[in-house]
Amino acid sequence: MRVAKPPKPLTIARITAGLRQVDLAAAVGKSNAFISRLENNGPAVLTPEVAERIASAIGTPAFLLFSGMKK
């Protein structure tokens, strides 16, 4: 039996803010695939600048969105 992984803080905050992945991607100037990779631990290079743009678009501090992410 597979156990579902809990959603990432980024995913929860994005959905709570009423944003789809494509909406967030457009707001921060990145691709939908980039946002998907961030939310699913795929290969994505997250710079501090992009992290801050994402946090601003969602309205949540970056340290809450990205705490515990794999480096």
Q: Specify the number of domains making up the chain.
A: 1
Q: Is 39 within a domain?
A: yes
pLDDT at 28 over 90: yes
CATH code for the domain in which residue 27 is found: 1.10.260.40
Distance in angstroms (rounded) separating the CA atoms of residues 48 and 4: 29
- CA nearest neighbour of 58 among 14, 28, 11: 14
Residues 60, 51: contact at Cβ < 8 Å?
no
Distance in angstroms (rounded) separating the CA atoms of residues 64 and 71: 16
Boundaries of domain holding 54: 9-65
Distance in angstroms (rounded) separating the CA atoms of residues 18 and 5: 22
Give pLDDT tens digits for 39-64.
Answer: 988 888 899 999 999 999 999 999 99
